[in-house]
Structures are given as C-alpha cells and as structure tokens.
C-alpha cells in the first residue's frame, strides 16, 4: 500500500516523482546554461538565442499541439499578463546570459537562487500578501547572502554580477505576471509564447548589432543542439512538476540547481567559488528553504 505524506492526500510516491522532476528541471536548465557559456567563446549572444530559439520554439509548439495545450484564444486580460511575462522573459534572458558569459556559472546561479525570496517580498509589497516577521527576516538575511556573493565596493565585485541581480528582478516580474494569468491558460502555451518572444527579440537585436553572425562550426552546432534539447526538456519538466506531488515538498528541490552549477562549473570550466561566495550561497539557500517551510506551516494552520 502506498504511504501517504503528512500534507494530506498526496502520496509519498507522488512526492518522490515530484522531487525527481524538480531536480531534473534544474539539471536541464543548468546544463543549458553550461552549453551557452561554452558557446559564448564562439558565437555572439543574439545569434545563439536566435538559432536556439527557432529550434526550441518549433519543438515546444509541436509538443503543445500534440498535447492539445496550445490555445491562443485567451481573454484580453490574460494576453496583457502573457505579454508582460514575455517581455520579462526576454529581459531576464539578456541580463542573466550576459552575466553568465562573464562570471562563473555557480556565482550567477547562486544569485538567481534568491528569486523566490524576492518574489515573496514583491507579493507583500505590490499585492499586500501577508508576510510575517519570520519570513521577512529570512528574506533580509537572504539578501545579505546575495551581497556576500556580489560584494559591492570590494575587489571581488564584478559589474556583471549586477546584471545577474537585474535578471532576478526580471524573473520576479515574470513569475508575478504568470500568477496573474488565468488558470485556464495552459502552461505550454505560455512557454511557447515566451520562447517565441525571446527568439524574435534576439533576431531583432542581431539585425542592429555591430557584431555580425559567425560561421557555425561542427562543435558549435552540437553545443546548440545540446542547449536546445536541454531547454526543451527543462520547460517540459517544469510543467510536469507542477502536476505531481505537494508543492511544499517539491519546491525546495529547486535549490539543487546550485549543486548542478557547482559540479558543472568545476568539471567543465575549472571554477570553484571562494569561501565568501559559498557562505553567501548557503545563506541564500538556507533562508529560501526556511521561507518555503514557514509558508507551508502557515498554510496547514
């Protein structure tokens, strides 16, 4: 007989599948980042995003049609928030990948891990969502962790770390816009629109950029293919994970992205964060986990 998890009717098996899917989601996203970081030595960002975007958008569109999850007949209100989500997605891609080209993979990923804390804070500020002193304290401590990673005003400071912080703001706007979209809008529809938006924006940027396209070598072609496959699976897993298990159990596994980033950064790029960066990343992850579990405790109460 399948055991039942304490949150309610969700089975332990469902939670295990959800945890595996969330871990796979973060692995796929991080692997995609690693492919793109390697590609940065061969191709400009706009070319990478255009070529990858065409392939990934076609794949996602085909999958969405096959699953009956591509519906473009939405209300004007939903389309406004989908448009806001897409613009935020474009900005997040530009700022995060520009940062990724110039800072170690683990550093950029660690900064991005602060997004759930910022989203919680934004919900309290803009939507008057209840937030107690414990979660507020965790958010403030988590932001101190981010400062340890960025280190403004020190020799360890890099302007591209600011780009990663701007990407966090963009991700926050994207996720808030996603929450405002009606529940009847399929997730894959938003994924297709978002992917198409990034592709079109990259193509437009490429047309006005002084940096011309470069020939795609065999190695670059394989890296682009790997990036495309990774990002498509990341989108699919991220949709599947929201339908399996209890979100309070599954969501904390998003922080496995930092573990993947540390491993890939060491193996692929020979990078390992310094002690202060590791301390900052640990603070961000620890406070994020506390905020998740505190929210679940309040929900059960």
**CA gap 110, 243 in Å, rounded:** 26
pLDDT at residue 94 greater than cutoff 80: yes
This prediction has a pTM of: 0.86
Residue 231: the pLDDT is: 92
**CA gap 40, 198 in Å, rounded:** 17
CB 143 within 8 A of CB 114: yes
Token pair of 137 as six digits: 């304290």
pLDDT tens-place string over residues 186-212? 989 999 999 999 999 999 999 988 788
Could you tell me the residue ranges of all domains in the chain?
12-300
Mean pLDDT for the chain overall? 87
User: Ramachandran region of residue 212, left (φ > 0), alpha (ψ -120 to 50) or beta?
Assistant: beta
Residue 247: the pLDDT is: 67
Residue with tokens 């690693």: 34
Cα 101 versus chain centre, distance:
16
């Amino acid at each position: 007989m399948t055991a039942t998890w304490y949150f309610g009717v969700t089975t332990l098996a469902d939670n295990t599948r959800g945890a595996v899917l969330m871990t796979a989601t973060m692995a796929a996203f991080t692997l995609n980042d690693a492919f793109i970081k390697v590609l940065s030595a061969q191709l400009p960002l706009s070319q990478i995003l255009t070529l990858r975007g065409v392939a990934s958008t076609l794949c996602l569109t085909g999958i969405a049609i096959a699953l009956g999850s591509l519906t473009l007949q939405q209300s004007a209100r939903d389309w406004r928030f989908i448009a806001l989500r897409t613009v935020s997605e474009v900005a997040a891609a530009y700022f995060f990948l520009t940062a990724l080209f110039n800072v170690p993979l683990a550093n950029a990923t660690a900064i991005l891990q602060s997004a759930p804390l910022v989203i919680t804070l934004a919900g309290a500020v803009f939507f008057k969502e209840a937030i107690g002193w414990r979660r507020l304290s965790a958010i403030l401590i988590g932001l101190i962790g981010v400062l340890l990673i960025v280190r403004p005003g020190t020799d360890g400071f890099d302007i591209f770390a600011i780009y990663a912080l701007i990407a966090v703001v963009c991700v926050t706007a994207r996720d808030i816009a996603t929450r405002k979209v009606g529940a009847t809008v399929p997730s894959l529809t938003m994924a297709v629109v978002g992917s198409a938006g990034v592709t079109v924006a990259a193509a437009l940027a490429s047309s006005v950029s002084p940096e011309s396209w470069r020939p795609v070598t065999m190695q670059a072609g394989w890296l682009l293919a790997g990036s495309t496959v990774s990002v498509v699976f990341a989108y699919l897993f991220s949709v599947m994970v929201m339908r399996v298990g209890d979100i309070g159990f599954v969501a904390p596994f998003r922080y496995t992205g930092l573990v993947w980033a540390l491993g890939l950064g060491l193996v692929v790029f020979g990078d390992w964060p310094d002690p202060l960066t590791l301390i900052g990343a640990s603070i961000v992850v620890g406070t994020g986990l506390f905020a998740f579990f505190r929210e679940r405790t309040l929900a059960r109460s």
